[in-house]
Chain A
Amino acid sequence: MRRTLFAALALLPATARAEDLVVLMSTQDVAITSTYTGARVTVFGMIERDASSVSRSGRYDVVVTVAGPGGPVVLREKTRTGPLWINRTLKRYPDLPGFYALMSTGPVPVVANESARERQKLGLGYFLTPSPAPDEAAEAGDAALLRLRKSGGLLIEDIKGVQMPRPNLFSSAIPLPASAPTGRYLVGVTVLASGVPLKTVNTSFVVRKIGFEAYVAAAARDNGLIYGLVTILSAIAIGFIGNLMFRRD
């Protein structure tokens, strides 16, 4: 169950820049409940232009990045050992976002110039830092990692992922698979024109277990012994009830 309240996140103070950017998100709190099968977080935005500023002839571009909570990831590869295919650690990534989405109004190299891409960290190259000394195995590993993450819906690159129904209005729906990790997701919204960034707004949302699911997970983690006792007592109780129900005398 997602909160449908729209939360105003960032109303920015007026700056020297001509453009201002207002970002709203469909939710700040993605709740994992017993019926959770993933969620969709939508980012809405409006580009406001100062009345006194010169009018811009070109259209705006928008890039939205979403980075999930990071952590160490191990990439394993099955290799042949005699007759057996056995998993071996191929590469360790000490800190990799558990989810990453790059949504834009067009191909990122087109909508953002190089300095903008670098400064705002736009592009999959900033999701996966290239190895300092690249070799064939490491590159194959990186390619496999990207492929696995993409097929699991945990890495999204969508050059049509931001829609602009009006020249100054945009929205982007980010699909979160059920396997996306819990924690804080950082959202970066950048408005560009002719490849030059005009304005960036950073915001975030949280994916967390709530209610019964959160209670069970916390109990298992913090009170393992009591949790275990409850489990075995319910096991005995159900076994006993089953025995009574189906008793043949």
Chain B
Amino acid sequence: MQFYLPIAEMPVNVLTVLGMSAAVGFVAGLFGVGGGFLLTPFLIFLGIPAPVAVATASAQIAASSVTGALNAWRRRAVDRKLGLLLISGGLVGTVLGVVFFNAMRRIGQLDLVISLSYIVLLVGIGTMMLVESLRALLRRDGQGEGPVRPAGSHRWFEALPLRTRFQQSGLYVSVLPFLLAGLLFGFIGAVLGIGGGFMLVPALIYIFRIPTAVVVGTSQFQILATMLVATLLHSATSGAVDIILALVLIVGGVIGAQMGVRAGQNIDSRQFRLLLALLILAVGARFLADILVKPVEPFSLVRGEVRG
């Protein structure tokens, strides 16, 4: 069932896109992540122009985080002050990211920036997750997960100024690392079409030792806010958001995520984390192969870039 995408200017098979977004949604629901780091690369592999893939995926990520954000709000698993700081930093980062995105697109290097960033990101995160999940699998005696840190060890961020109390998270620390984290992930998210939850969540858990439920709930709000703004800014500045593609992705993602959440309740999460790590590495390897392996067809044609 072919459908012509008005912005990507190409026909796609709706069932392929629906199935792909449902599969990504399933993985996302299973692991409680947004899935943008898989969705955007898959769209690029399908032949969607990279700028359209990035801008459109942000709409899908926003939609899929609505559910998570609402559920977290109902369960009162949101640290409002932490969320506000992350979102403030995130909005600035998103604006900077969209500006950078358009500047790279103008000089014709956006595709290279996107694939290099994905290589660094996916190979890095994938390797870390692989090591961590292998360790967890070997440590099958059922001990608590997560790093065991000796009590009273020095934590660098405790020295920072502007300390404040985070009720829900049980913290009394500076606001600066959270503003900075929001900025960084907002920027990366706008350029690469990812929510950044799969980086933000572990960072908050491992570095600040905030309770997992609070981290997940709060980060959903950060992702929702930054991805909504990213979608809006991409639309307003480059017109690269394909609303038809976005709607198909959203529907597939919502359905897939629900199945993923259900499936996630009866499985050994450690084995599936290993699978996720391998999946991330595989996508990273695909990007890597593009620039490491001698291409079969070294030539490519692009429409003349807009200059000025």
User: Which residues does chain A contribute within 8 Å of B66, judged by CB atoms?
Assistant: 235-236, 239-240, 242-243
Q: Please determine whether A83 and B251 come into contact, CB atoms closer than 8 angstroms.
A: no
Say yes or no: A36-B246 contact (C-beta < 8 A), given A224-B237, A231-B235, A242-B254. no
B228 at the interface (CB under 8 A from A): yes
A73 in complex: contacting residue of B70, B108, B243, B302, CB < 8 Å? B302
B246 in complex: contacting residue of A79, A144, A178, A231, CB < 8 Å? A231
Q: Please determine whether B254 and A76 come into contact, CB atoms closer than 8 angstroms.
A: no
Interface-facing stretch out of B1-9, B130-138, B172-180, B270-278: B1-9
B63 in complex: contacting residue of A32, A144, A236, A246, CB < 8 Å? A236
A110 at the interface (CB under 8 A from B): no
User: Which residues does chain A contribute within 8 Å of B231, judged by CB atoms?
Assistant: 228, 231-232, 235
Q: Please determine whether A90 and B299 come into contact, CB atoms closer than 8 angstroms.
A: yes
A67 CB to closest chain B CB (Å) equals 17
Q: How far is the CA of A209 from the CA of B10 in the complex (A)?
A: 12
A115 at the interface (CB under 8 A from B): no
Q: Flag B59-91 by CB within 8 Å of A: 1 or 0 each.
A: 110111111001100000000000000000000
Give residues 1-38 of B contacting A (CB, 8 Å).
2-4, 6-7, 9-11
Q: How far is the CA of A235 from the CA of B258 in the complex (A)?
A: 16
User: Which residues does chain B contribute within 8 Å of A34, judged by CB atoms?
Assistant: 3-4, 244
User: Which residues does chain A contribute within 8 Å of B301, judged by CB atoms?
Assistant: 73-76, 145, 148-149
User: Which residues does chain A contribute within 8 Å of B2, judged by CB atoms?
Assistant: 35, 37
A221 at the interface (CB under 8 A from B): yes
Q: Flag B238-273 by CB within 8 Å of A: 1 or 0 each.
A: 110101101100110011011000000000000000
Q: Please determine whether B4 and A76 come into contact, CB atoms closer than 8 angstroms.
A: no
Number of A-B contacts (CB under 8 A): 175
A139 at the interface (CB under 8 A from B): no
Q: How far is the CA of A37 from the CA of B5 in the complex (A)?
A: 11
Query: Majority SS of interface residues in chain B?
Result: helix
User: Which residues does chain B contribute within 8 Å of A229, judged by CB atoms?
Assistant: 232
B305 at the interface (CB under 8 A from A): yes
User: Which residues does chain B contribute within 8 Å of A228, judged by CB atoms?
Assistant: 231-236, 241
B155 at the interface (CB under 8 A from A): no
User: Which residues does chain B contribute within 8 Å of A141, judged by CB atoms?
Assistant: 299
User: Which residues does chain A contribute within 8 Å of B236, judged by CB atoms?
Assistant: 224-225, 228
Q: How far is the CA of A238 from the CA of B4 in the complex (A)?
A: 22
User: Which residues does chain B contribute within 8 Å of A79, judged by CB atoms?
Assistant: 298
Determine the residue in chain A with the shortest Cβ distance to B257. A242
A239 in complex: contacting residue of B7, B244, B254, B292, CB < 8 Å? B254
Say yes or no: A216-B7 contact (C-beta < 8 A), given A231-B243, A235-B63. yes
User: Which residues does chain B contribute within 8 Å of A238, judged by CB atoms?
Assistant: 63, 247, 250-251, 254
Q: How far is the CA of A237 from the CA of B187 in the complex (A)?
A: 25
Q: Please determine whether B4 and A37 come into contact, CB atoms closer than 8 angstroms.
A: yes
Q: How far is the CA of A32 from the CA of B290 in the complex (A)?
A: 33
B159 CB to closest chain A CB (Å) equals 39
Give residues 199-223 of B contacting A (CB, 8 Å).
none
Residues of A within 8 A of B (CB): 32-37, 71-80, 83-87, 89-90, 92-94, 141, 144-145, 147-149, 178-179, 209, 212-214, 216-217, 220-221, 224-225, 227-232, 234-236, 238-240, 242-243, 246
